[in-house]
């Protein structure tokens, strides 16, 4: 079993079902000691991209997928690992029923800072909501600042 911890647009189970059809949603949980942030400069995606950084006082909601070996390369490809945009990272996710589990996720290979586009931020919030994130988490995503050039 290869557990993937999604914190960005891959939180959306329907989106993941299209891109990794043999990899079901396994559970949801939290990356304790991590903070969701944005990094990189504006590019074709319209603003900074989601990533996580270590922060002992924070946690990030994640959807955990049981990724089939045949889907792993596609999940990596969607994250742009072949182009060096994101890299894989091993993390521990806390779940309600299974306790702590080992998982892998992607982190941005760029500096922290910058603002996401309003569209991207909306997609993240919608994905979190679809994955069953608590309302306070979704509301905090929707309240985050976005790139003023994108409004």
pLDDT digits (tens, 9 = 90+) for 70-93: 999 989 988 888 888 999 999 999
CATH number at residue 133: 3.10.490.10
| Spatial distance between the Cα atoms of 26 and 139, rounded to a whole number of angstroms | 24
Separation of alpha carbons 111 and 24, rounded Å: 32
pLDDT tens for each residue of 7-21: 999 999 999 999 899
Range of the domain at 35: 3-150
The verdict on whether residue 120 carries a ligand-binding annotation is: yes
Count of structural domains, the chain? 1
């Amino acid at each position: 079993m290869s557990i993937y911890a999604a914190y960005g647009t891959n939180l959306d189970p329907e989106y993941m079902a299209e891109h990794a059809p043999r990899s079901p949603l396994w559970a949801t949980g939290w990356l304790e000691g991590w903070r969701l942030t944005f990094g990189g400069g504006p590019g074709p995606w319209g603003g900074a991209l989601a990533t996580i950084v270590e922060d002992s006082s924070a946690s990030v909601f994640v959807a955990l997928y049981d990724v089939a070996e045949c889907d792993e390369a596609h999940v990596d490809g969607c994250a742009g690992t072949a182009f060096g945009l994101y890299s894989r990272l091993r993390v521990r996710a806390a779940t309600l029923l299974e306790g702590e589990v080992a998982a892998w996720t992607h982190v941005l290979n760029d500096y922290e800072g910058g603002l996401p586009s309003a569209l991207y931020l909306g997609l993240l919030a919608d994905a979190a909501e679809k994955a069953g994130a608590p309302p306070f988490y979704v509301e905090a995503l929707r309240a985050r600042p976005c790139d003023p050039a994108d409004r």
